Chains A and B, each alone.
Chain A
Amino acid sequence: MIPTPDLINLLADELTPVRRLRGPMTRAARWLLLASIVTVMLVVAHGVRSDFWRCLLDRSFVACTAASAATGICAAVAAFLLSLPDRSRAWALLPLPALAVWFSMIGYQCLTNWVVLDPDGIRLGEAVRCFSTLVMTSVPLTITILIMLRHSAPLRPVLATLTAGLSVSAITATAMSAIHNPDASIMVLAWNFGTVTAIIGVSGTIGRRFMGLAFARG
Chain B
Amino acid sequence: MLPSSTSHSRVLSLGEAELTARSDRKVDWSILMERAQAGDAEAYRRVLAEIAPYIRSLAAKWCREPDEVEEIVQDTLLTIHAVRQTYDPARPFGPWLAAITKRRIADRLRRSGLRRQRETPLTREHETFPGTQANNPVGAPARRALGLAINRLPIGQRQAIELLKLREMSLKEAAATTGMSIAALKVATHRGLKALRKLLAGDEVR
Contacts and interface: CB of A to CB of B under 8 A. Distances in A.
Interface of A: 1-2, 4-5, 7-9, 11-13, 15-21, 23, 83-86, 151, 154-156, 215, 218
B48 A12 contact: yes
A194 to B, nearest CB: 32
B87 A16 contact: no
Given A11-B78, A15-B40, A17-B38, 19 more contacts: A1-B74, A2-B74, A4-B70, A4-B74, A8-B77, A11-B44, A15-B36, A15-B44, A17-B37, A19-B85, A20-B89, A84-B86, A85-B83, A86-B91, A151-B82, A151-B85, A151-B86, A154-B82, A155-B100
A7 to B, nearest CB: 6
B74 A215 contact: no
A16 B40 CA distance: 8
Interface string B33-76: 00011111110110011001000000000000001001101100
Contact of A85 (B71, B81, B103): B103
5 contacts: A1-B67, A12-B45, A16-B39, A18-B85, A151-B82
B85 A21 contact: yes
Given A1-B70, A4-B77, A12 B44 contact: yes
A156 B83 CA distance: 12
Taking each of B67, B74, B83, which has the highest tally of chain A beta carbons within 10 Å of its own beta carbon? B83
B88 A20 contact: yes
B83 A7 contact: no
Interface of A is mostly: loop
B38 A23 contact: no
Nearest to B99: A85
A8 B85 contact: no
Nearest to B96: A86
A151 B39 CA distance: 19
Contacts of B82: 151, 154, 215, 218
Contacts of B73: 4
Contact of B83 (A5, A8, A19, A154): A154
B32 to A, nearest CB: 11
B95 interface: yes
Contacts of A16: 39
A5 to B, nearest CB: 7
